[in-house]
A = this chain, B = another copy of it.
């Protein structure tokens, strides 16, 4: 048979998946802010679907913890307080540290190459002062790290955590990080990965996450 490589299987995702993606996107970029109610009638009309698939999509968000359901009242976008921010970054830290350990026993160089690609996008965005692009490149970087681990479960868990991270970020658009520091931190991480220096990699990662928390909570932990 003639194998035609450019032909890929037609992907037709069910409505519930598509709806969940759109809702997630809207929640991440702040269009649906924390505490906002996901009214069934409104959303169904707006998305051009019926309540059935919409409710299925909402159950997915609730299961992820991105939304919460209050019986007979509706489902609402989850509100994140300062404790949540710490929890998110702590859990991310544990997840990504685990991903690092997996990457180190596989192909650190290849992973480093792929991370470097995201890192270049980050550096470019930083140079141009493109903060949204910087944030996107940051997410891309961490997503690549987890994907490279090859662990389905880490990938699934990280997906939710990244959504929550972006919820935090879009809620505090005014507090801008130091782009230069961000670029440098990721560069150091890649370098440690290339050197296959596990202790240093994990230490840098933990510090990186701590920076993330302090950036969002008001860096209460920094003496001088």
Which residues of A does B touch, CB under 8 Å? Answer: 12-14, 16, 52, 55-57, 59-60, 62-65, 69, 71, 84, 87-88, 90-91, 93-95, 97-98, 102, 151-154, 156-157, 161
11 sampled A-B residue pairs with Cβ under 8 A: A52-B52, A56-B56, A56-B59, A57-B59, A59-B63, A87-B151, A91-B151, A91-B153, A93-B98, A94-B95, A157-B157
Q: Which residues of B contact A90 (CB under 8 A)?
A: 98, 102, 151
Number of copies: 2
Q: Which residues of B contact A102 (CB under 8 A)?
A: 90
Q: Which residue of B lies closest to A152 (CB)?
A: B87
Instruction: Kindly state the separation between the CA atoms of A161 and B154 in the bound complex, as whole angstroms.
Output: 11
Instruction: Kindly state the separation between the CA atoms of A102 and B157 in the bound complex, as whole angstroms.
Output: 19
Instruction: Kindly state the separation between the CA atoms of A90 and B156 in the bound complex, as whole angstroms.
Output: 14
Q: Which residue of B lies closest to A99 (CB)?
A: B94
Q: Which residue of B lies closest to A157 (CB)?
A: B157
Of the candidates B13, B151, B157, the one whose C-beta lies within 8 Å of that of A71 is B13
Instruction: Kindly state the separation between the CA atoms of A33 and B101 in the bound complex, as whole angstroms.
Output: 33
